[in-house]
Amino acid sequence: MNIIEGIKREKVVAVIRKSNKDNIVPILNALAKGGIHHVEITAETPNVNEIIAEAAANTDESIRVGAGTVLDPETARAVILAGAAFVVAPTLNKETLQLCQRYGVEHIPGVFTPTEILTAYENGARMVKVFPADAVGPRYIKNILGPLPHVTAMVTGGITRDNLKEYLTNGSAAVGLGSNLVDASKLKTEEDYHALMERAKEFIELAK
């Protein structure tokens, strides 16, 4: 199953910030046990290429390790060579889209307006990320997809237990979950990772 279809099926992507080589594999394993197999490790993380390589080499093949917060084609190439299976951005950069297409890697660019959404689609994006979603709310997704029904959108920014289902029922194909799901800096003990697994299960159940 390709990346986009996998994300659409699972409906939840974990956004991981402030991870490191020591905790990234336990984080991904806990998320997978909870039912979340698509993750983006944000590119502003120190030594992100090493962390992505560690994750890609030491987790089950069902876990799809992506890179997030990728702002330019140079960073996209670096994370792809490190092992990123997909690339996500908070912004729309046509050169990054082209670079990812060259390498056969899915790129999910960040968009906000209908013009940005259509521009991303016309430049080859098979999924777009509406960000920051909490600035406009779930109804916005329904409104913009009305005239753009051929676009597949996920939402990120301020997604919680309380609003996740509303975003999905208003047309979002998936949601990106950051600190409301994973706070890598606070994961220290077996109990912490068990709690992470349970949170993943809860969000997956809500999504389904």
Q: What is the DSSP string of 99-115?
A: HHHHHT-EEE-EE-SHH
Q: Which of 129, 165, 188, 190 is catalytic?
A: 129
Q: Are 66 and 87 in contact (CB under 8 A)?
A: yes
Alpha-carbon distance values, 107 to 91, 130, 150, 206 (Å): 11, 14, 17, 26
**What order do you get walking across the sheet with 128-130 strand by strand?**
106-108, 86-88, 64-68, 38-42, 12-16, 174-177, 153-156, 128-130, 110-111
129 belongs to the catalytic site: yes
What angle do helix axes 24-33 and 190-207 make, rounded to 10 degrees?
40
What angle do helix axes 48-57 and 24-33 make, rounded to 10 degrees?
50
Residue written as tokens 């905790």? 23
40 belongs to the catalytic site: yes
Looking at the chain, how many residues does it have?
Answer: 208
Alpha-carbon gap, residue 139 to 169, rounded angstroms: 10
Q: Which of 11, 40, 54, 106 is catalytic?
A: 40
Nearest to 6 by CA among 37, 42, 41, 40: 37
**What tokens does 85 get?**
């299976």
Active site residues: 40, 129
